A and B are shown apart, each in its own frame.
Chain A
Amino acid sequence: MKKIKYIARIKRYNPDTKESYWQDFPVEVEDSLTVLELLMYIKDKIDGSLTFRAFCRSAICGSCAMVINGRAGLSCKIQAKDKIRNGVIRIEPLHHLPVVKDLVVDQEPAFDKFKKIKPYLVPDPKKVPDSLNSESLVTPEEFKLYDKQTDCILCMACYGSCNALEGEEKYLGPFQLTKAFRFIADSRDGVDIEERIKLVEDHGIWDCVQCQMCLAACPKGIKPAEDILELRRIAKDSGEDNPGTRRAKHWFADVFATGQIDKWHLPENAFGDEVGKEMTKQLEEEFRARGLKEEEFGPQPFDGIEQFQKFLKRLVKEAE
């Protein structure tokens, strides 16, 4: 077996002294190690005090997530040799969660948020019979809507790399919202959609900045960012009225009318208040100062827009 030399740069935290620091561990190890095996090697041979959490070693229990080279993932699933950059692998605990010791974080705050979205099925009596003698049928088409999302192992890699949490610590979080979507999409669930949507409104779907880091992090190929857009769609379709849903409505109408969004009127249309109006007015002044004519303030339909509109109508029909 081939041995390779590199440095494991690990972020340590000592809860007794409250000290946090980076420590370099030069290693010469087999090139076949996972990051988790690398950590076990270091604990075994170099520093017995190094602390991390792991259990299944096969990407299923969800306990070994950490941030490696700035990107969150499961340490038992990632090959160490793929992570060497300029001779170094950087390993740190998941972000946005309190560190207990070294690479171990306290998952409780994220679970507390998880509980807020009712992360369980409330059987719909019309769909789920109470007698064990009859079945509760789910068609393959119905299941396809949330099949992927049921693979979530609650590893929190997405949570530990989420940008929305960087700006707003009350944000519910990616896996929490993916789970909310999963139950809305489940044909057996008996909770009203409006009620489920209410659970994800407060510091939920509208705080997400669509950075896509949760897609990059998830070891199961789940796409929380895209589920969040679905939740926003459902919120809009179920009659929610807020800047987000208004933005979505105007956005589509603008694109239908001209092919482009009308950034001039978007603030007043989306916010629908004095602040929004003021923003639109400010833009107007900016345009005038630049010597633009009124017809240049917003987009104009391009040649052949009628054809485009037919195309868009067909797309919408297909989408339904």
Chain B
Amino acid sequence: MGKKIGIYPGCCFQGADVHNYDILVAFLKNMDLEEVLLDRSACCGGGVIDETNKLIVYGLNARNIALAEEAGVDLYTPCNTCYMIIAKTKLALDSDPKLKEKINEILAEEGLEYKGTATIYHTLNLIRDFIGLEEYKSKLKRKIEGVKVAPYYGCHVLAPNEVALDDPENPTLLKEILEPLGVEIVDGYKNEYTCCGYHASYTNPQQKEQLAVKPLEGAKEAGADLVATPCPLCHKAMDGHDEPIIQVLQLINVACGMTPEEALFHYNKTPVNLAL
């Protein structure tokens, strides 16, 4: 078994989306990483608990990070939003000793402490910094050829700037992760960086619908067969339309030798067909 990594299972890995958890576990296995499930972790707040109070968001996520630190691991989540919110919390606590002290006082009741030693990972920086691009490539067993793939980052890995995982003005990381899979990259398409709208799903479903189709249509216009996103929420918002979309982890799992069935393609609403 390889290196250990702490898994933060946010809401997109449970209930209706429990297959995302299986996709994640398969990916870790393919990368020869050992999963340490942070099973007492709690919801990051999803940008909704802020509507109750921001201090609660800091507290919840300081606790999530502290759980990883207690287990001696870094924290990894594939969800763009979880990543952004947890990374924002880390920034806030690391730059404000008073806030950190206040939160630690409350955490002490559960026997926990936020130290600030754990790194927050999302699939993008996990592959680049934790696994390493070369090591990642060495784990891939076959090429997925004959398919034109449009990378779709989603918002929260590129904004706000303080937590961006790549140069927001010319990101290349997703392409660097997808290219070794053998697929042909189609980027620079219309609405490549338009939001998927997921976070309006409840507050204004029409708004969500308006936005979700824009990157899909842009990608198709540019000749892509398939859109690939690292974010399970973007995927949820955009799946089910005419143009197929897939999670990057699913594609990686296939390139690591799994069948589309094993990579759980059948949970995608819009069918994804790869000629393997």
Chain A residues with CB under 8 Å of chain B are 68-71, 83, 85-86, 163-164, 166-168, 206-213, 215-216, 226, 229-230, 232-233, 236, 243-245, 247-248, 251-252, 254-255, 259-264, 266-267, 270-271, 283, 286-287, 292, 296-299, 302-304, 307-308, 310-312, 314-316, 318-319
Among B39, B50, B53, B202, max chain A CB count under 10 A is at B202
14 further A-B pairs in the complex, CB-CB below 8 A; given A211-B159, A211-B199, A248-B48? A163-B155, A208-B200, A209-B200, A209-B211, A215-B159, A229-B54, A230-B50, A236-B51, A247-B203, A255-B49, A261-B46, A302-B39, A304-B40, A319-B55
**Residues of B with C-beta under 8 A to A271:** 202
CB–CB A166/B11 < 8 A? no
B203 in complex: contacting residue of A243, A259, A299, A316, CB < 8 Å: A243
Assembled-state Cα–Cα distance A275/B211 (Å): 21
**Residues of B with C-beta under 8 A to A316:** 52-53, 56
Q: For residues 1 through 23 of chain B, which have their beta carbon under 8 Å from a beta carbon of chain A?
A: 11, 14-18
CB–CB B199/A287 < 8 A? no
**Residues of A with C-beta under 8 A to B11:** 260-261, 263
Check B63 for interface membership: any CB of A closer than 8 A.
Answer: yes
CB–CB B43/A307 < 8 A? no
CB–CB A85/B40 < 8 A? no
Task: Give A45 Cβ to nearest chain B Cβ, in Å.
Answer: 26
Q: For residues 153 through 210 of chain B, which have their beta carbon under 8 Å from a beta carbon of chain A?
A: 155-156, 159-161, 167-170, 191, 193-195, 197-200, 202-204, 206-208, 210
**Residues of B with C-beta under 8 A to A260:** 11, 14, 42-43
Assembled-state Cα–Cα distance A244/B17 (Å): 22
| CB closest residue in chain A, given B55 | A319
B169 in complex: contacting residue of A69, A236, A247, A312, CB < 8 Å: A69
Given A215-B159, A244-B202, residue A296 in contact with residue B40 (CB < 8 A): no
23 A-B residue pairs with CB within 8 Å: A166-B210, A166-B214, A167-B197, A167-B208, A206-B200, A209-B198, A209-B208, A212-B84, A232-B51, A243-B203, A247-B48, A252-B49, A255-B43, A259-B40, A261-B43, A263-B17, A283-B16, A297-B15, A304-B40, A312-B56, A312-B60, A314-B109, A318-B106
Assembled-state Cα–Cα distance A50/B226 (Å): 39
Assembled-state Cα–Cα distance A248/B206 (Å): 19
Task: Give A83 Cβ to nearest chain B Cβ, in Å.
Answer: 7
B15 in complex: contacting residue of A164, A248, A262, A302, CB < 8 Å: A262
Check B110 for interface membership: any CB of A closer than 8 A.
Answer: yes
**Residues of B with C-beta under 8 A to A299:** 14-15
Assembled-state Cα–Cα distance A261/B13 (Å): 11
**Residues of B with C-beta under 8 A to A69:** 169-170
| CB closest residue in chain A, given B193 | A70
Check B33 for interface membership: any CB of A closer than 8 A.
Answer: no
Assembled-state Cα–Cα distance A247/B170 (Å): 36
A212 in complex: contacting residue of B52, B160, B193, CB < 8 Å: B160
Given A244-B202, A252-B52, residue A168 in contact with residue B109 (CB < 8 A): no
Inter-chain residue pair count (beta carbon < 8 A): 189
CB–CB A243/B202 < 8 A? yes
Tell me the dominant secondary structure on chain A's binding face: helix
Q: Which 10 A-B pairs have the closest CB atoms?
A: A167-B210, A69-B169, A163-B195, A259-B42, A319-B53, A206-B203, A229-B50, A85-B170, A215-B160, A248-B51
Assembled-state Cα–Cα distance A310/B155 (Å): 34
Task: Give B13 Cβ to nearest chain A Cβ, in Å.
Answer: 10
CB–CB A302/B40 < 8 A? yes
Assembled-state Cα–Cα distance A319/B156 (Å): 26
Check B107 for interface membership: any CB of A closer than 8 A.
Answer: yes
Task: Give B165 Cβ to nearest chain A Cβ, in Å.
Answer: 13
Interface size class of B (residues with CB under 8 A): 35 or more
Among B59, B156, B159, max chain A CB count under 10 A is at B159
| CB closest residue in chain B, given A307 | B110
Assembled-state Cα–Cα distance A247/B159 (Å): 25
**Residues of A with C-beta under 8 A to B169:** 68-71, 83, 85
B52 in complex: contacting residue of A71, A209, A233, A261, CB < 8 Å: A233
**Residues of A with C-beta under 8 A to B202:** 243-244, 247, 266-267, 270-271
**Residues of A with C-beta under 8 A to B200:** 164, 167, 206-209
B59 in complex: contacting residue of A247, A292, A310, A311, CB < 8 Å: A311
A210 in complex: contacting residue of B39, B47, B102, B109, CB < 8 Å: B47
B159 in complex: contacting residue of A216, A233, A310, CB < 8 Å: A216
CB–CB B168/A263 < 8 A? no
Assembled-state Cα–Cα distance A266/B52 (Å): 17
Q: For residues 22 through 62 of chain B, which have their beta carbon under 8 Å from a beta carbon of chain A?
A: 39-43, 45-56, 59-60
Task: Give A284 Cβ to nearest chain B Cβ, in Å.
Answer: 10
**Residues of B with C-beta under 8 A to A70:** 168-169, 193
Assembled-state Cα–Cα distance A260/B109 (Å): 20
CB–CB A310/B109 < 8 A? yes
Assembled-state Cα–Cα distance A283/B14 (Å): 13
CB–CB B211/A311 < 8 A? no
| CB closest residue in chain A, given B56 | A315
Assembled-state Cα–Cα distance A309/B40 (Å): 12
Assembled-state Cα–Cα distance A314/B112 (Å): 14
Task: Give A29 Cβ to nearest chain B Cβ, in Å.
Answer: 20
Task: Give A81 Cβ to nearest chain B Cβ, in Å.
Answer: 13
**Residues of B with C-beta under 8 A to A207:** 200, 203-204, 207
Task: Give A261 Cβ to nearest chain B Cβ, in Å.
Answer: 5
